[in-house]
């Protein structure tokens, strides 16, 4: 057990912190207010290795480990959660799955463009009628007999959908087989048959664009199939395990920002002739915030460590650690942001300070990449061995 980070880990944390403080934080209020996609910052983050942290250098990434990913995500999320959403989808949901299941040609074509920040990636699993129950998907891909498929159907809540060049897509190829009848693809949004639908107006992470997408007789070439036909559900679940570490890191970043702002305010703001931080009721909140923040970070780092241990092992899984981290960190972020608004009083409710943004942004971490209820289900199934 060693709580020290390596030089490489500290270096990428430093790169992320610098970009977070110099570029992301100063424009966070603007991006939240306008909902404008922060393309310029994302390109810069890509050039600095932040869009493909665990991607080997030969495919355009930084070639670092899962701990480095957590450290960098926390820095970006503390400055602006929306930026970290885009970063997490590119890193964990897009690059990760193709690196693990893709062919050499797929890695060179798709991963390189996203890891270098030249293009944006997305992940399409959810549909209007299927979220938590992912196998209930209706999007169909029908085999044509020559290795290609014709795809028809809708996907919803697609993070980065409005700007993505490539999308990892899951479609039912054999409905009678349920979870074993789903196939993964990497589709090109410039091709015929791909359409974008309405953009979602959202409570938080407003600068991370989200929309519905539709496939109408989209022809997926054999080179667009990711992994083996029928393996799509396992690919989706494995990728989401990694994604959940990214969302846990995002939650830690939001918690840290809300906590640090609260410390400053509690020292400066006076009431009844004393700094409010000297009152026991505020001190109690601060102590609880600190405990939840530290627990979230440590569990997220443990999940990243578990991911690293699982790498290279044929059946290596880190699902439970990832769900424990995501559940703990997301519920902590919601609670910490709530307390931070409360300690700030009227100023917490005002758009002149970022507290209300942290509060709105924290909520999504309890919903996407598996709700808190789904994380509890994954953990309890593992612990009890029951379904």
Complex with ligand CAA: residue 135 or 372, whichever CB lies closer: 135
144, 151 Cβ separation under 8 angstroms: no
Complex with ligand CAA: residue 149 or 368, whichever CB lies closer: 368
Euclidean distance between CA atoms 160 and 83, whole angstroms: 11
Least Å distance, CB 179 to ligand CAA, is 4
Least Å distance, CB 364 to ligand CAA, is 8
- What is the sign, positive or negative, of the torsion defined by CA atoms of 100, 102, 103, 105? negative
Complex with ligand CAA: residue 132 or 350, whichever CB lies closer: 132
Question: At which residue do the structure tokens 């992994």 appear?
Answer: 227
* 214, two tokens: 């539709």
129, 136 Cβ separation under 8 angstroms: yes
Least Å distance, CB 46 to ligand CAA, is 18
Least Å distance, CB 120 to ligand CAA, is 13
Which positions lie near ligand CAA, rule CB under 6 A? 89, 93, 123, 125-126, 132, 134-135, 157, 159, 179-180, 233-234, 237-238, 240-241, 317, 319, 368-370, 374, 377-378
Least Å distance, CB 100 to ligand CAA, is 11
Euclidean distance between CA atoms 124 and 66, whole angstroms: 23
276, 286 Cβ separation under 8 angstroms: no
Phi and psi dihedrals of 157, rounded to 5? 55, 45
Euclidean distance between CA atoms 248 and 11, whole angstroms: 21
Complex with ligand CAA: residue 110 or 259, whichever CB lies closer: 110
- What is the sign, positive or negative, of the torsion defined by CA atoms of 136, 120, 11, 62? positive
Phi and psi dihedrals of 306, rounded to 5? -60, -35
Complex with ligand CAA: residue 67 or 310, whichever CB lies closer: 310
Q: Measured between alpha carbons, how far is residue 66 from residues 84, 208, 313 in Å?
A: 15, 23, 16
Assess whether 36 carries a catalytic annotation.
no
How does strand 182-188 pair with strand 166-172? antiparallel
Pick the catalytic residue: 54, 212, 366, 369? 369
Residues marked active site are found at: 369
């Amino acid at each position: 057990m060693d709580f020290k980070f390596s030089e490489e880990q500290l270096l990428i944390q430093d790169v992320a912190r610098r970009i977070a403080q110099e570029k992301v934080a100063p424009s966070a209020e603007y991006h939240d207010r306008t909902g404008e996609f922060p393309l310029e910052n994302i390109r810069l983050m890509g050039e600095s290795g932040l869009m493909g942290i665990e991607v080997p250098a030969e495919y355009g990434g930084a070639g670092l480990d899962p701990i480095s990913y957590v450290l960098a995500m926390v820095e970006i999320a503390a400055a602006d959660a929306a930026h970290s959403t885009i970063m997490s989808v590119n890193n964990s949901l897009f690059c990760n799955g193709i690196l693990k299941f893709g062919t050499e040609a797929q890695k060179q074509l798709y991963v390189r463009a996203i890891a270098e920040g030249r293009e944006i990636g997305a992940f399409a699993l959810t549909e209007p009628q299927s979220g938590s129950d992912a196998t209930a998907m209706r999007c169909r891909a029908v085999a044509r007999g020559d290795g290609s498929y014709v795809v028809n159907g809708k996907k919803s809540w697609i993070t980065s959908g409005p700007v993505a060049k490539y999308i990892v897509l899951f479609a039912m190829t054999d409905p009678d087989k349920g979870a074993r009848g789903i196939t993964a693809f990497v589709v090109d949004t410039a091709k015929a048959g791909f359409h974008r639908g309405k953009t979602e107006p959202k409570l938080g992470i407003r600068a991370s664009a989200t929309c519905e997408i539709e496939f109408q007789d989209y022809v997926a070439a054999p080179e667009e199939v990711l992994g083996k036909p029928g393996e799509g559900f396992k690919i989706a679940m494995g990728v989401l395990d990694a994604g959940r570490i990214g969302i846990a890191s995002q939650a830690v970043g939001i918690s840290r920002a809300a906590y640090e702002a609260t410390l400053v305010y509690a020292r400066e703001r006076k009431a009844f002739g004393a700094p409010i931080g000297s009152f026991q009721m505020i001190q109690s909140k601060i102590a609880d915030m600190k405990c939840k923040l530290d627990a979230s970070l440590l569990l997220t780092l443990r999940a990243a460590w578990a991911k690293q241990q699982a790498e290279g092992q044929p059946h290596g899984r880190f699902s439970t650690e990832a769900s424990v981290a995501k559940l703990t960190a997301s519920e902590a972020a919601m609670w910490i942001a709530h307390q931070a608004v409360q300690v700030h009083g009227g100023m917490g409710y005002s758009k002149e300070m970022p507290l209300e943004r942290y509060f709105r942004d924290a909520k999504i971490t309890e919903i996407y990449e598996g709700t808190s209820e789904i994380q509890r289900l994954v953990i309890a199934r593992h612990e009890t061995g029951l379904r």
